């Protein structure tokens, strides 16, 4: 999805997300602008406190002027607006290209621009590979982000890659050894995030008794993450800034990779473990 629907509660300026995301049986998994968080949008990538820093010119200040400093553009592309401005901050789609496809496989290239007040501050090229395998959908996402100025992603409990699921059923999080019983994270305390893990699964039993879910698999080359998975927000969020800020130099690339396993029925732990091991080794 690259543009807001004609009628929507979406509060974020940006859309640029994957929604609706369906299971192999055709059941919708994701949510768009749910009543609890109108800025959430399917499967998306954004941060709510970013800084783009460009060197300031103090040549006109004379001999007593500052020795150095920055012009700082702060931005919230997540859409919350509590930690940085949202006005004039938007992710705009610049193109979608189908690389190849068949009845059970598709590969796309997506180009987006992260813009502050009509100026592109970061370019995004995202590769998406979707395939059906063993009655699940496997979705590989490869984000390549290149800022035009020095970028700082500020320290916070949540943000970055997020899967926002629907909230109209009974849900729980799991790993291969069973359901997660840890306390919920909270946005104000990064230390409450769940510990680093290869993956977490989120399963929903809908009111019609249909069970669906999604596993999010981290990649070993991503910056270290803890997981912001509060039960009361119905999302899966491996957060690369929960341990501290992440800095990216001007014109250097930040690469983030994630694999989704979308399933009908209970969590297929063995299959997810297999797909996780292959993902982490660089195999399909």
Is the pLDDT assigned to residue 69 strictly greater than 90?
Answer: yes
Hey, what are 98's tokens? 């189908």
Query: Could you read off the pLDDT of 165-192 as tens digits, one per residue?
Result: 999 999 999 999 999 999 999 999 999 9
Q: What is the pLDDT of residue 210?
A: 98
Measured in degrees and rounded to the nearest 5, phi and psi for residue 36 equal -80, -30
Examine the pLDDT at 284 and tell me if it is beyond 90: no
Distance CA 44, CA 145 (A): 14
Count of domains observed in the chain: 1
For the stretch 223-269, pLDDT in tens is 999 999 999 999 999 999 999 999 999 999 999 999 999 999 999 99
Domain carrying residue 186: 43-56+68-281
pLDDT at 283 > cutoff 90: no
pLDDT of residue 148: 98
- Please indicate, yes or no, if residue 37 is contained in any of the structural domains: no
- Whether 122 maps to a domain, the answer reads yes
Is 0.95 surpassed by the pTM of this model? yes
DSSP state of 241: T
Domain at 152, CATH number: 2.70.98
């Amino acid at each position: 999805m690259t543009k807001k629907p004609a009628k929507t509660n979406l509060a974020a300026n940006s859309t640029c997300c994957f929604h609706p995301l369906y299971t192999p049986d055709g059941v919708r998994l994701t949510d768009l602008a749910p009543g609890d968080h109108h800025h959430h949008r399917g499967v998306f990538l954004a941060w709510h406190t970013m800084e783009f820093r460009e060197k300031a010119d103090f040549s006109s200040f004379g001999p007593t002027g500052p020795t150095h400093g920055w012009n700082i553009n702060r931005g919230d592309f997540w859409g919350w607006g509590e930690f940085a401005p949202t006005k004039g901050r938007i992710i705009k789609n610049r193109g979608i290209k189908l690389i190849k496809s068949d009845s059970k496989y598709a590969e796309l290239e997506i180009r987006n621009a992260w813009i502050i007040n009509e100026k592109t501050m970061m370019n995004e090229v995202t590769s998406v590979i979707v395939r059906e395998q063993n009655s699940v959908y496997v979705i590989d996402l490869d984000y390549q982000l290149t800022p035009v100025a020095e970028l700082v992603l500020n320290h916070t409990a949540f943000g970055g890659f997020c899967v926002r699921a629907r909230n109209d059923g009974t849900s729980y999080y799991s790993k291969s050894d069973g359901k997660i019983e840890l306390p919920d994270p909270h946005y104000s305390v990064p230390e409450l995030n769940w510990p680093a893990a290869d993956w977490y699964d989120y399963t929903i039993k809908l009111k019609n008794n249909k069970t669906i879910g999604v596993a999010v698999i981290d990649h070993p080359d991503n910056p270290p993450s803890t997981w912001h998975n509060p039960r009361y927000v119905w999302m899966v969020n491996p957060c690369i800034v929960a341990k501290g800020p992440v800095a990216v130099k001007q014109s250097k690339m930040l690469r983030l990779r994630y694999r989704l396993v979308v399933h009908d029925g209970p969590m297929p732990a063995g299959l997810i473990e297999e797909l996780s091991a292959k993902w982490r080794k660089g195999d399909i």
